[in-house]
Amino acid sequence: MKILITGGTGFVGSKVVEKLAIAANSVLVLSRTRREKNNNVEYIGRDEIYQVFEKGLDVVIHIATEYGRGDNSPSTKATNYDLPSYLLKLSEIFDVKLFLNTDSFYVRHKHTFHHMDEYIKTKEMFKKKLFDGTYSGVKRINVVLSHVCGVGDKSEKFLPWVIDEICKGNKVRLSECFQELDIIDVDDVSEAYFVIISSMGTIQDKDEYEVGTGCVIQLRVVIEKLLALIQTKINVNKNNLLFGKNQAGNIEGTFRADTNNIKSLGWKSRKVIDDSLLEMVVERLGKLD
């Protein structure tokens, strides 16, 4: 099977690429930087997109995401709307069987995450185009990710940042952290994409799959777990965790994925959060040495 992936060098995308390549698929990764072909994985530039479609593709997976750093960021619309719109058009022209769009729980709770307005707006725009338009022959699937964690995430992401700050002995100013999140490991997420693609013959056009554990945990509990794990490795001061000192970051709510659809395909989350957090702590400590 020949598969094109955007965002294939990022945190989630790289894991999906690895999973699909191991299964002997031919994977083409749309990348800003040129890289050498590696086993079943080939990296292409934007100037090669049309030619790749001409040669034939079975599946397109759009994972690339731009969260934006301010209102009306051109790169946010370009990544979240313009690029997938172009790929979707080519998918219809060149008889691609399956188009997977990657969405997130933030979009489902747009009235809560006001600081992500531009990201949410552009993601909603493309989902409307994806499901409201007529694209004959292409099965269109929306994949809604919960809060993804795991080894390999960027240091500026919240949980890796918290780990780094605790390990450095810095004071960590936090909100109350009472929100309840559905936190899933990136390895389980990559398995979900694999299962959806493997079920291409049975899934229906415009199906939507929420990918999470189906369970929630309070963010404060997660941070306290991280502290306890770090304390088994190095000496740290628990009083450096300053809950309630960043009131501007306060978010309330419970954000749980409805996993019934994805489970109907035979998928389920396997990695428990304690294992994911331990792996992250070990990784971050290794990088700080």
Number of domains in the chain: 2
**What is residue 266's predicted lDDT score, i.e. its pLDDT?**
98
Identify whether 263 is part of a domain.
no
Identify whether 138 is part of a domain.
yes
Identify whether 199 is part of a domain.
no
Identify whether 30 is part of a domain.
yes
How far, CA to CA in Å, does 8 sit from each of 14, 17, 86, 111, 144?
A: 5, 6, 18, 30, 17
Identify whether 110 is part of a domain.
yes
> 76, 68, 84: which is closest to 4 by C-alpha?
84
State percent of the chain over pLDDT 70.
97
Same structural domain for residues 50 and 31? yes
Same structural domain for residues 30 and 128? yes
Q: Would you give the distance in Å from CA 60 to the centre of its chain?
A: 16
Give the number of other Cβ atoms within 10 Å of residue 72's Cβ.
11
Identify whether 197 is part of a domain.
no
How far, CA to CA in Å, does 231 sit from each of 79, 124, 166, 167?
A: 40, 42, 10, 9
Same structural domain for residues 117 and 163? no
Domain C-terminal end among 92, 114, 145: 145
Identify whether 89 is part of a domain.
yes
Same structural domain for residues 79 and 64? yes
Same structural domain for residues 7 and 137? yes
* Tens digits of residue pLDDT in 202-243: 999 999 999 999 999 999 999 999 999 999 999 999 999 999
Identify whether 189 is part of a domain.
no
Element (H, E) at 92: helix 83-93
Same structural domain for residues 154 and 276? yes
Same structural domain for residues 87 and 67? yes
CB 223 within 8 A of CB 241: yes
The range of the structural domain enclosing residue 121 comes to 1-145
The three-class DSSP label of residue 7 is: coil
Q: Give the pTM.
A: 0.94
- Domain of residue 89, CATH code: 3.40.50.720
Same structural domain for residues 31 and 118? yes
Same structural domain for residues 276 and 234? yes
Bridge partners, residue 2, by sequence: 26
Give the number of other Cβ atoms within 10 Å of residue 170's Cβ.
11
Rg of the chain over all Cα atoms, to the nearest angstrom: 20
- Domain of residue 155, CATH code: 3.90.25
Same structural domain for residues 98 and 165? no
Give the mean pLDDT of the chain: 94
Same structural domain for residues 75 and 156? no
Same structural domain for residues 128 and 217? no
d(CA 112, CA 251): 7
Tell me the mean pLDDT in the region 147-161. 96
* Tens digits of residue pLDDT in 64-101: 999 875 555 679 999 999 999 999 999 999 999 999 99
